[in-house]
Chains A and B, each alone.
Chain A
Amino acid sequence: MSTQTYYVPEQSRWPILASTALFLMAFGAGSLINSLSADTGGATGLLMLLAGTLGMGLIMLGWFSNVINESDKGLYSPQMDRSFRWGMSWFIFSEIMFFAAFFGTLFYIRNLSVPWLGGEGEKGVSNMLWHGFTAEWPLMSTPDQQAFPGPQGVIDPWHIPLLNTILLISSSFTVTLAHKALKLGKRSRVVLWLAVTVGLGIVFLYFQAYEYAEAYNELGLTLNAGVYGATFFILTGFHGLHVTLGTLMLIIIWLRVMKGHFSTEKHFGFEAVVWYWHFVDVVWVGLFLFVYIL
């Protein structure tokens, strides 16, 4: 029965345009990074990257406004809605696995390879490479201090990271309040709670940037500071990028709510952003625990 009204869209130009934009982004980023490393300018690469990114932004706007229009015209059945839900859930699962790779890296480095380098355990023979190297975590002095000068200090978890934890967890509550208000049709409250959520996201990002500046300028904790810096920045960095993306998505649904989009029953676009925001929040809790505290 239900498949009878399943909406199959007509031909669309968005995907091929998006592929082109993605190619420009990838090729541009590749050229830019290569020329930066080789010190040979990189203007073409940068130009391609910018053009691709701008194009991708516009394409996404166009593509999503198509989807919104179709939804407004009532073309989407509840079954379509379920497809979107499956799609978003599995996308978030793929993101979880992306972070899992970096968490796995952190655990392996901390619990296996650094102790081995320090001469402990079954593979402790690798200590022969760097006599006198002692394992510790956080890794303050690396095997080769010339190539990878270890950090002088690490971030204290009980200041900015604790504050950021409080900020993000509260933002998960405020976004839920916004969602509840939307279901009750109290739109001015939706606008308010979303604004608070966006605000919390931006303040989080501000503190994160502040923390990075402190790490670089005062603690010598950099990408180049050995494997502690590497794991620290890849985990917090990708999380920060996801918060940025999530905040952008929140701003977009905030604008859409103000334009009168979303009904009390049908608002999957809204829910998808809420899911994503919760996901970003949960990853942060993992970071706070394993990167900062332990």
Chain B
Amino acid sequence: MNSSVATTHHGPASGLSRWLYTTNHKDIGTLYLWFSFVMFLTGGCMALLIRAELFQPGLQLIQPEFFNQMTTMHGLIMVFGAVMPAFVGLANWMIPMMVGAPDMALPRMNNWSFWILPFAFSMMLSTLFMEGGAPNFGWTFYAPLSTTYAPPSVTFFIFAVHMMGISSIMGAINIIATILNLRAPGMNMMKLPLFVWTWLITAFLLIAVMPVLAGVVTMMLMDIHFGTSFFNAAGGGDPVLFQHVFWFFGHPEVYIMILPAFGIVSEIIPTFARKKLFGYPSMVYATASIAFLSFIVWAHHMFTVGMPLVGEVFFMFATMLIAVPTGVKVFNWVATMFRGSLTFETPMLFALAFVVLFTIGGFSGLMLAIAPADFQYHDTYFVVAHFHYVLVPGAVFAIMAGAYYWLPKWCGNYYSETMGKVHFWCSFIGVNITFFPMHFIGLAGMPRRIPDYALQFADFNAVATVGAFIFGFSQLIFLYNVLHCIRKGRKASDEVWEGSHGLEWTLPSPAPYHSFSEAPQIK
């Protein structure tokens, strides 16, 4: 029998059918990435609307009801629509090439995982036009705001979450099966590129916690429509139970959004430092420890809600423990650069900014982990500053870094380095102007999720809004740069970067439609 059954002879189909019916990991990766970018802009517009309203104290542009819908939708769209699909897109593109596989393990299911998303988000966005408006209870949808006091559209929100969950679980199963089963001969676990390792662990987290999210929204649905009292103390339930179940999902979820970012940065820094990654095994164990700890820290989001003292103390110390493996990672990245021959192409700039700014976000997280201090910080802009530091210059910068790093491999052309650097500096400056002042207004007591504020917060809010617009509009440079790169960038070599390492760089640029029909041998 011919060695590469049905895999060598066909290229992409033409027209729309290529994208609708595809089973190709690169096509599906591309779909995920574009989808996530569209969602990024959508959620970004909502963020700009929020910032515009907060430019000055008092109510100017939008009504408080709509402001609430915007904060809710912005959060949901960025988490489930922008960041997560972007990482899945990168996984789709890169994991088969990195482990020497012909494609993902279950290619048709791969297509299904993607195509559920546009339907789920159309449903979610359609709630904006429904009677009573879109969900307005924050992306954490705490009961009873999301049950007793929710708009009718909450039902559609619940089903949209179910669809996203199905998509994520299938995507994660595919990634695990690919990594465990489709590695090229000789590619043993401790030779896996770190991006693959971090995704393996992320996929495990997804399969473990997305069903819990499905469980919690199902209980909401039952409380709202079928007379149960899970989250209603009048029937013997407890609204705090909602928070426990939600955050049992929610905390691992934040690692789902950061572990692949760790992986990307661990690929990029060695390339541009022209050195091997320092402490590979410790990186793997640190990732695994972070994943393990993520299951026993959830109630650090609930210090002020009412928990027995042992609970407060346990969750405080368990949370602070996470700083140890995270510190190992930051140390390793820095040690990788130590005495390397560094160059600062755009991916490296984003990766460096990631290391510095993510660490700032990590430190403010450590501050929030201290239960007595958290009583002061809780639900203030300090929290907003913290999680935006880990998610924007954390997760989003890593995605940008990865996109620039692999773009030449994907489309065979280099992006424009000048434009890349402009994009980087605008983003870097914009992000810090937006989120750094939030630390101060948060510590001074400005509550989050409120469309108006006291006069003493006016200056920093105005500054933050200016920063947000700088950051937001500079993403258009990125869009232009990508389009330019696809159409007519300078031809890229196969290895693309001087210091690149790994199987994906042994393939031609652009990577052929089917990468490894014959498995490569790894020594």
Residues in A lying within 8 Å of B, measured CB to CB: 1-16, 18-20, 22-23, 26-27, 29-30, 33-34, 36-38, 63, 75, 79, 82-84, 86-87, 90-91, 93-95, 97-98, 100-102, 104-105, 108-109, 112-114, 116-117, 121-123, 126, 129-130, 139, 142-144, 147-148, 222-224, 226-231, 233-234
Contact = CB atoms under 8 A, between A and B. Distances in A.
Closest 3 pairs between A and B when the two form their complex, measured CB to CB: A101-B215, A148-B235, A15-B112
Contacts of A13: 20-21
Contacts of A117: 233, 236, 238
Given A22-B163, A223-B226, A230-B228, A142 B236 contact: yes
A20 to B, nearest CB: 7
Contact of B180 (A86, A224, A227): A86
Nearest to A32: B155
Contacts of B514: 8
B46 interface: no
A129 B309 CA distance: 21
B116 interface: yes
B506 to A, nearest CB: 15
Interface string B303-335: 000111100000000000000000000000000
Contacts of A224: 227-228
Contact of A229 (B17, B22, B228, B518): B228
B308 A121 contact: yes
B155 A223 contact: no
A186 B7 CA distance: 38
B386 to A, nearest CB: 27
B163 A34 contact: no
B215 A102 contact: yes
Contact of B181 (A82, A94, A113): A82
B207 A98 contact: no
A87 B106 contact: yes
A103 to B, nearest CB: 10
Given A4-B4, A101-B212, A34 B235 contact: no
A277 B166 CA distance: 21
Nearest to A4: B3
A227 B518 contact: no
Interface in B202-226: 207-212, 214-216, 218-219, 221-222, 224-226
A34 B155 contact: yes
A7 B229 contact: no
B17 A11 contact: yes
Contact of B212 (A11, A30, A97): A97
Nearest to A83: B105
Given A75-B5, A97-B212, A26 B181 contact: no
A5 B102 CA distance: 10
Contact of A16 (B111, B173, B218, B240): B111
23 contacts: A2-B185, A13-B20, A20-B119, A23-B119, A26-B119, A26-B160, A26-B162, A30-B158, A79-B181, A97-B208, A97-B209, A98-B211, A101-B216, A102-B219, A105-B245, A108-B244, A117-B238, A123-B307, A126-B233, A226-B235, A230-B230, A230-B235, A234-B222
Interface in B1-52: 1, 3-7, 10, 13, 17-18, 20-23
Given A4-B518, A6-B102, A10-B6, A34 B152 contact: yes
B163 A23 contact: yes
Given A223-B228, A226-B236, 8 more contacts: A12-B111, A26-B120, A75-B6, A79-B181, A86-B181, A227-B235, A227-B237, A230-B222
A133 B179 CA distance: 54
Contacts of B7: 6, 8
B123 A222 contact: no
B261 interface: no
Contacts of B118: 19
B108 interface: yes
Contact of B177 (A5, A37, A87, A230): A87
A90 B171 CA distance: 11
Interface of B: 1, 3-7, 10, 13, 17-18, 20-23, 100-103, 105-109, 111-112, 115-116, 118-120, 122-123, 152, 155-156, 158-160, 162-163, 166, 169, 172-174, 176-177, 180-182, 184-185, 207-212, 214-216, 218-219, 221-222, 224-230, 232-238, 240-241, 244-245, 248, 306-309, 514, 516-519
Q: For A30, A36, A82, A108, which residue has the most chain B Cβ atoms within 10 angstroms?
A: A30
A283 to B, nearest CB: 13
A15 B108 contact: yes
A130 B238 CA distance: 13
Interface SS of chain B: helix, strand, loop or mixed? helix
B234 A4 contact: no
Contacts of B102: 3, 6, 8
B413 to A, nearest CB: 27
A133 B180 CA distance: 54
Contacts of B211: 94-95, 97-98, 100-101
Contacts of A2: 185, 519
Contacts of A84: 106
A82 B156 CA distance: 37
Contacts of A148: 229, 232, 234-236
Nearest to A122: B308
Contacts of A15: 21, 108-109, 111-112, 115
B103 A86 contact: no
A129 B234 CA distance: 9
A3 to B, nearest CB: 4
B6 A104 contact: no
Nearest to B208: A97
B235 to A, nearest CB: 4
B458 to A, nearest CB: 39
B222 A4 contact: no
Contacts of A222: 227
B173 A113 contact: no
B245 to A, nearest CB: 6
Nearest to A1: B185
Nearest to B175: A90
Contacts of A109: 230, 236-238, 241
Greatest chain B CB density within 10 A among A101, A129, A144, A226 is at A101
Contact of B229 (A1, A20, A226): A226
A16 B18 CA distance: 12
A19 B116 contact: yes
Contacts of B123: 23, 26-27, 30
A105 B115 contact: no
A23 B124 CA distance: 11
B112 A19 contact: yes
Contacts of B210: 94
Nearest to B173: A90
A14 B237 contact: no
A234 to B, nearest CB: 7
